[in-house]
Every structure is written in structure tokens, then in C-alpha cells.
């Protein structure tokens, strides 16, 4: 399935908006970026020191459009997969290890 970049960004925005209110202020520290694809076939990537670090560069979460499109066959499935990816990457912002992440 393929969608326009603007449509994909709608899915990313919906995923960000779905994060519970107590965590929304932490998301202001994160730059969310949509990229066409990663060289490693990733769905997303977190870069940063995390929510507990002070100073330094802002955190960044990159969401890879093509990986999501290739894995999904409907808009609803794509929206849910983007949400899962963002929750996973946001978990890294809170210093959660892979084993602790819900997705």
C-alpha cells in the first residue's frame, strides 16, 4: 500500500496525539521526523539522551514511511503500526530497554 507523505504525516500526528496527557509535555523535547526509508529496514529510530538527561541535543524520532507501507495492507493497519512504532521509540526516550517496551 502507498499513501502520500501528507497522509502518512496524518498517521504520525494521530499517534503523537494518542499519547496520554501526563506524557505530552515530554514529547515537546522530541523532534519527530518522517523519512522515506532506512537502509536497515527499520520502522523507526530514536536518537537522543532521553527524558532524564539535561542539556545536550534534542531527541529525535524518525519514522520510516516505506517500511510501514510495505508491512500494511490498509489505512487502519498503517495507522496502528505507526502508533506502535512511535510508542516503542518514545519508550526509548524514557530509558526503557527492548525487553520492557510493549511493542
- CATH number, domain containing residue 69: 3.30.2010.20
Mean pLDDT of 6-13: 97
Taking the C-alpha atoms of residue 39 and residue 9, their distance in angstroms, rounded to an integer, is 20
Q: How many domains does the chain have?
A: 1
- pTM score, two decimals? 0.88
Confidence of residue 62 (pLDDT cuts 50, 70, 90): very high
Q: Three-state DSSP class for 37?
A: coil
Give the helix/strand (H/E) hosting 32.
strand 30-35
List pLDDT tens digits, range 18-56: 998 988 888 888 999 999 999 999 999 999 877 666 566
φ/ψ of residue 60, rounded to 5: -140, 135
Task: Give me the domain span that covers residue 88.
Answer: 5-100
Look at 12 and 90; give whichever has higher pLDDT.
12
Amino acid at each position: 500500500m502507498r499513501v502520500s507523505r501528507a497522509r502518512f504525516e496524518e498517521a504520525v500526528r494521530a499517534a503523537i496525539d494518542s499519547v496520554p496527557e501526563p506524557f505530552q509535555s515530554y514529547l515537546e523535547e522530541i523532534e519527530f521526523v518522517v523519512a522515506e526509508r532506512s537502509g536497515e529496514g527499520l520502522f523507526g529510530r530514536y536518537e537522543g539522551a532521553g527524558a532524564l538527561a539535561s542539556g545536550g541535543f534534542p531527541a529525535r524520532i524518525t519514522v520510516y514511511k516505506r517500511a510501514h507501507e510495505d508491512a500494511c495492507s490498509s489505512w487502519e493497519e498503517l495507522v496502528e503500526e505507526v502508533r506502535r512504532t512511535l510508542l516503542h521509540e518514545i519508550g526509548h526516550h524514557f530509558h526503557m530497554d527492548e525487553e520492557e517496551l510493549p511493542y
